[in-house]
Amino acid sequence: MIPPIANDFVAGETPEAALAHVDEINARGVAGILNLLGEHYDERPPADADADAYVALVEAIADRGTDACVSVKPSQIGLDVGDAVFEENLARIVAAADAAGVFVWIDMEDHETTDVTLDAFERHARETDGGVGVCVQANLKRTREDLDRLAELPGKVRLVKGAYDEPGEIAYREKRRVDEAYREDLAFMFEAFDDGVAVGSHDPAMIEHARELHAEFGTPYEVQMLMGVRESAQFDLAANEDVTVYQYAPYGDKWFSYFYRRIRERKSNALFALRAILGN
Ligand code: FAD
């Protein structure tokens, strides 16, 4: 069982618990992005099993009429085993999701996976006419050029700052420079994208920048944040602004390392966890 503090960041161990969590946020105007926790499988069986789980999940989302989509990590569905395994499993998930009318996001992992991930996105974006989305990372120097290519495709693009520790030759490493790149990339997306822009950030400055760009260009946009991070801002935005808000809610039995990462990344989270452990 997931202990109470981890419950703030992880939507349960089972798909039923995750869907029940999404029901709660749906009732407060926020849509869900469900992610089954798991990554970097170096053998095929767990990759196939997680792909099966996503197929069942998209069918359950459609059957229940839940306002949710899914987000899949390439290394979770076989990329470390081989490109063909990843592509086969992704095709299976996208086919089931497309039949069920459920949107599929492809998360972006480290820079060695960028090309294969964008190529897979392009194929499925064309085949489903925009039923899939991909994440790109503002810390990578190549991203501005990747956005030129993505602007020509159907489907949505989520811009994030980037979670991986990348080398200086290919990535901005200074926070100020990453923030600058995020602003520039976002401005380009609002100007050049038709299918909408997904702002994957908790940063109030980036969300304000998106608000201004939306007022200038009229491009539809959505804000995506993680479960357990600035949740009151998520509900406020959904209630008071003309923007769709999504909460990325991970679930599954591999919750510990994800929870540990969330706790380590911010002192306030660590203090919160400590207070909960001490019982006040
Ligand atoms: P930061 O620069 O971390 O923070 C800026 C400001 O935001 C802070 O000063 C504070 O005001 C506010 N803030 C941030 N965190 C908190 C907090 N815990 N509590 C209170 N305030 C806070 N990365 C990838 O590499 N690949 C992916 O596929 C990917 N998918 C993502 C999907 C979603 C929906 C989200 C939200 C993030 C995703 N990320 C992904 C992670 C992303 O790259 C960043 O590492 C992460 O979002 C932190 O950057 P930030 O933009 O939120 O702002």
Among residues 48, 98, 107, 179, which one is catalytic?
Answer: 107
Convert the pLDDT of each residue in 57-100 to its tens digit: 999 999 999 999 999 999 999 999 999 999 999 999 999 999 99
Among residues 158, 179, 185, 262, which one is catalytic?
Answer: 158
In the annotation, is 261 catalytic? Answer: no
Which residue has tokens 């069920």? Answer: 100
pTM comes to 0.95
Convert the pLDDT of each residue in 239-260 to its tens digit: 998 899 999 999 999 988 888 8
Average pLDDT over residues 12-35: 98
Q: Please, which pLDDT band fits residue 275 given cuts at 50, 70 and 90?
A: low
Q: Which two tokens mark 143? A: 């991203």
In the annotation, is 211 catalytic? Answer: no
In angstroms, the Cα distances linking 9 to 24, 141, 227, 246, 259 are 14, 30, 5, 15, 7
Q: Which CATH number does 8-277 carry?
A: 3.20.20.220
Cβ neighbours around 29 below 10 Å, total = 16
Contacts of 71 (CB under 8 A, 6+ apart): 33, 34, 35, 104, 105, 106, 107, 248
Ligand 1 center from residue 108 Cα (angstroms): 14
Ligand 1 center from residue 201 Cα (angstroms): 5
Ligand 1 center from residue 193 Cα (angstroms): 22
Is the per-residue pLDDT at 112 higher than 80? yes
The protein residue with its alpha carbon nearest to ligand 1, atom 43, reads 162
CA-CA distance, 245 to 155, in Å (whole number)? Answer: 17
| Domain regions of the chain by residue span | 8-277
Mutation pick for ligand 1 pocket among 69, 161, 246 (CB with most ligand atoms within 8 Å)? 161
CA-CA distance, 223 to 269, in Å (whole number)? Answer: 22
